[in-house]
Amino acid sequence: MYDILEYAREIDSRDVAIEKEVEKYIDNLTKPVGSLGILEEIVIQLAGIQKTKNISIDKKVIVIMCSDNGVCDEGVSECPQNVTHQVTYNFTKGITAINRMTNFSRSDIHIVDLGIKGEIDSPSVHNRKIRQGTFNICLEPAMTKKEAVMAINLGIEAVETLINKGYEVFGTGEMGIGNTTTSAAVLSILTGSDVKSVVGKGSGVKQETFDRKVSAITRAIQKHNPCKEDVINVLAKVGGFDLAGLCGVFLGAARNKKAVVIDGFISAVAALCACRIEPKCKQYIFPSHMSKETGMAIAMKALGLEPYFHVGMRLGEGTGCTLTFQLMDISLHTLYTMGTFEEAMIEKENYIGIWK
């Protein structure tokens, strides 16, 4: 296993010189400077990440971390806990939202079982089970520090395995009933936010369930008193295997100079964990959508990122990443196939003057 802090220290910054070259090239295309907004920013960021003007994003994959969460014993979800097992199995059947959306966006999924209760007999599910679910955070820490480090390492392992298969862009997905509760707990600690301000209604919970969720997080934080300066300590005390695994995906992608996309709330909290471990990790991260989960805006503000899409989604599974995959594709295709001012036989100064 990697020493997580040592591994994270090896994350390098993007190539600023290449980014300036690509920006100069884009500014010479037949359009007002900066007029394609985010599309231009995406291409420049990709060039800096890959350290080349010859950007390649043909192979994309969403890593879906799956695990059960012991806090479900507190009645924090309307869904029974066995839904984690059933939905993960359904990923293998190709019938879920993420299956259809990755099919449309010409991307793949990589399913990892970090702690589902029960076994799934499918070659499509990579069994890296730490144990069958975390402990109930209201009674004891979710996991040991060793298990938290193991979960982060398993996220890194997934990324490095997929890089060896040629994947260039990573998305982050999850499946785990109760994980909006653990993510809200982690976010509250890392940002110092009041518990009620970060807790949403998850999978459509009723008011009484929402109240139990707030109570469970409050009691867990009071009981364990996690150290906000020590991300691994926070994850171990009130997090989840899926959340820690996704933190590892962000660190692994950044360490290997690969683009990585945030999906929704759980994914955003995992990204925040990674960036608190090593701030340079942010340079490799792309947002996707503004999840309707209450804590999403707080997580994105803490990251200093603005989601590209506001489409009212709150499913998880990595579904939002597919939107960003397609935005990356159209950005690269447009800006690398447009004509320059010289090719269009237009005086750049006169053209820009029209738009002042």
Residues assigned a catalytic role: 317
User: Rounded to whole angstroms, how far apart are CA atoms 212 and 203?
Assistant: 14
Return the ∠ at Cα 20 (arms to 307 and 106), rounded to 5°: 45
- Please answer whether residues 264 and 271 qualify as being in contact, where contact means their C-beta atoms are separated by less than 8 angstroms: no
End-to-end CA separation in angstroms for the chain: 56
Q: Is 23 helix (H, G, I), strand (E, B) or coil?
A: helix
Side chain identity, residue 83: V
For 138-173, give the DSSP string: TTS-SS-HHHHHHHHHHHHHHHHHHHTTT--EEEEE
Tokens representing residue 2 in the block: 């990697």
Name residues whose C-beta falls within 8 Å of residue 18's C-beta, 6 or more positions apart in sequence. 47, 48, 51, 52, 53
- Number of helices (H), then strands (E), in the chain: 16, 6
| Integer CA distances (angstroms), 111 to 22, 90, 120, 245, in order | 35, 11, 11, 12
Element (H, E) at 350: helix 348-354
